[in-house]
């Protein structure tokens, strides 16, 4: 019996094969929901670190690797992949750590190639953290709890809001930052996204950020802020392993490794939600197998991303909403999504055109995205039965994590290595939360709850990627 026979909520179950035209229509819905999320990290990193000449290639590789990763997740090659209709895309969670790694090289006078060599080298090794954790993911809930995960994800969102707000004001290094024309365009973009997301039309809501950016772009054009000076790029982008070289730095690696740990748990929650909307088991051997394969797929795809010049991957949670909207949970749709993303990734002109996007338009959209990341962390925290111990962990972790950003002079006497490590709010908050969770004894009530079924907490977690 097919999955669609089990539930009238789905038109096509996980292993059903929809007709090509219907599958293509469902695939376009997923692409609309995830396209902006996939390309935005590259736009932000390229803009903040001054990598303008490399942006078309970075965007192309983000789309290409997302296509490859989506195929691997749905196809399930050996133990790699969940076998579910889940879209892989560039993760926002790594943005602050990747930017920190880039600034380490930039402070030493490194070129764009040096910056990217360091970023991709660090991200390559960090991928093995998630690959290792995939084998023991069902046992990690006692160490990386919802409290730890919520603290880290909330801190990531809060630390990135400055990036979005700076873009709304005109962008880093802009001598005219804060000019009224920038604020107007940013406000129009933000207001459009808010209005679209309050619509009762689900299709519009799923495309809200893209529509908001289009409206913002048109507004910027009429205000004379759009230039069509598109840089010359190659006709076809040929994926090249380690195009920019390979480098490594321990101070840059630690924040990325910590986020890789948290991402493994976040992916578990996203895959659990995907199983639920696909009417598949959320407990038992098959479920555990899918979770392990999905997290392993995340790690392998992040490694591939580093090899081919893109940033770490994760499972996109917004695509679970598309499954609910279309009633199509067939993993065969993912093959269409993968093919379209790979095709889009082969043409650098797409990235070159997106490079003309005014900063306030990007800022208006990313402010919502980063706020959503922070909100997702708060939502995870709200699922936990918080006691005095948890509140203490939250207070100290948020205090230290946000404190080192507010008062960077606190690390002025540290050695260069430790200064680089502990100047990251995500690193400080994450390490603090993990260490305190291990050291501080749990109250009796929580010790009893440890006997609950493995991965039970993940049924509650549905976070934004």
CB contact burial 163-201 (16+ within 10 A = b; e otherwise): bbebbbbbbeeeeeeeeebbbbbbebbbebbeebeeeee
Range 101-112 average pLDDT: 91
Measured over the CA atoms of residue 322, residue 167, residue 254 and residue 461, the dihedral's sign is: negative
Residue with tokens 């934004």: 464
**pLDDT range class, residue 115, cuts 50, 70, 90:** very high
Q: Are 336 and 29 in contact (CB under 8 A)?
A: no
pLDDT tens-digit map of 274-291: 888 898 988 788 988 999
**Whole-angstrom Cα distance, residue 91 to residue 370?**
12
* pLDDT for residue 464 is more than 60: no
Distances in Å between the Cα of 31 and the Cα atoms of 20, 239, 336 are: 16, 21, 10
User: Considering only 162-176, 266-280, 333-347, 438-452, which range has the smallest mean pLDDT?
Assistant: 438-452
pLDDT at 452: 41
Q: What is the mean pLDDT of the chain?
A: 86
Distances in Å between the Cα of 332 and the Cα atoms of 22, 25, 107 are: 11, 13, 47
Residue 292 in tokens: 């392990």
Nearest 10 degrees: Cα torsion 296, 299, 302, 306 = -130
Q: Are 424 and 99 in contact (CB under 8 A)?
A: no
pLDDT at 191: 95
**pLDDT range class, residue 2, cuts 50, 70, 90:** very low
List beta partners, residue 12. Answer: 328
Range 302-313 average pLDDT: 96
Residue of 459 and 23 predicted with greater confidence: 23
Residue of 42 and 383 predicted with greater confidence: 42
**Whole-angstrom Cα distance, residue 263 to residue 315?**
9
Q: Give the residue extent of every domain in the chain.
A: 7-441
User: Considering only 51-65, 178-192, 427-441, which range has the smallest mean pLDDT?
Assistant: 427-441
Range 404-433 average pLDDT: 84
**pLDDT range class, residue 267, cuts 50, 70, 90:** confident
pLDDT at 296: 96
pLDDT tens-digit map of 380-415: 888 888 899 999 999 999 999 999 988 989 988 888
pLDDT at 360: 94
**Whole-angstrom Cα distance, residue 156 to residue 373?**
7
* pLDDT for residue 231 is more than 80: no
How many CA atoms does the CB half-sphere of 168 hold within 13 Å? 19
Biggest CA-to-CA distance, the chain: 66
* pLDDT for residue 462 is more than 60: no
pLDDT tens-digit map of 54-105: 999 999 999 999 999 999 999 999 999 999 999 999 988 898 889 989 999 9
pLDDT tens-digit map of 339-395: 999 999 999 888 888 888 899 998 998 888 888 878 878 888 888 888 999 999 999
Residue 242 in tokens: 């380690």
pLDDT at 5: 44
- The model carries a pTM of 0.80
User: Considering only 127-131, 371-375, 452-456, which range has the smallest mean pLDDT?
Assistant: 452-456
């Amino acid at each position: 019996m097919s999955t669609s026979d089990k539930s009238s909520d789905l038109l096509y179950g996980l292993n059903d094969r929809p007709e090509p035209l219907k599958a293509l229509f469902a695939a376009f819905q997923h692409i609309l929901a995830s396209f902006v999320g996939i390309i935005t990290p590259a736009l932000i990193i390229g803009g903040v670190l001054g990598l303008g000449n490399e942006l078309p290639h970075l965007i192309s590789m983000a789309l290409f690797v997302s296509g490859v990763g989506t195929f691997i997740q749905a196809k399930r090659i050996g133990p790699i992949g969940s076998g579910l209709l889940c879209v892989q895309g560039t993760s926002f969670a790594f943005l602050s750590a990747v930017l920190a790694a880039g600034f380490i090289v930039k402070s030493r006078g490194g070129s764009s190639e040096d910056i990217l060599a360091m970023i991709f080298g660090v991200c390559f090794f960090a991928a093995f953290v998630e690959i290792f954790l995939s084998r023991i993911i069902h046992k990690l809930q006692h160490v990386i709890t919802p409290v730890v995960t919520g603290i880290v994800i909330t801190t990531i969102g809060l630390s990135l809001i400055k990036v979005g707000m700076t873009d709304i004001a005109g962008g880093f290094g802009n001598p005219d930052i804060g000019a009224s024309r920038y604020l107007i365009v940013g406000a129009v973009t933000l207001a459009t996204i808010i209005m679209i997301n309050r619509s009762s039309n689900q299709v519009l809501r799923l495309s809200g950020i893209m529509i908001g950016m289009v409206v913002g772009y048109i507004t910027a054009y009429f205000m004379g802020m759009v230039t069509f000076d598109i840089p010359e790029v190659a006709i076809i982008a040929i994926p090249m392993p380690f195009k920019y070289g390979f480098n490594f730095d321990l101070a840059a690696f630690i924040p990325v490794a910590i986020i890789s740990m948290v991402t493994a748990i976040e992916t578990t929650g996203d895959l659990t939600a995907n199983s639920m909307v696909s009417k598949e088991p959320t407990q038992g051997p098959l479920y555990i197998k899918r979770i392990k394969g999905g997290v392993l797929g995340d790690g392998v795809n992040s490694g591939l991303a580093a090899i081919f010049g893109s940033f770490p991957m994760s499972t996109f949670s917004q695509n679970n909403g598309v499954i609910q909207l279309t009633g199509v949970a067939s993993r065969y749709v993912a093959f269409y999504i993968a093919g379209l993303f790979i095709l889009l990734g082969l043409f650098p002109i797409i990235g070159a055109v997106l490079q003309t996007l005014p900063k306030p338009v990007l800022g208006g959209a990313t402010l919502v995205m980063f706020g959503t990341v922070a909100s997702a962390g708060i939502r995870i925290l709200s699922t936990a039965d918080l006691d005095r111990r948890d509140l203490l962990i939250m207070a100290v972790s948020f205090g230290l994590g946000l404190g080192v950003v507010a008062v960077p002079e606190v690390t002025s006497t540290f050695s260069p290595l430790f200064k680089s490590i502990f100047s990251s709010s995500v690193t400080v908050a994450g390490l603090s939360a993990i260490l305190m969770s291990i050291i501080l004894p749990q109250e009796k009530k929580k010790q009893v709850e440890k006997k609950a079924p493995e991965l039970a907490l993940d049924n509650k977690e549905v976070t934004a990627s």
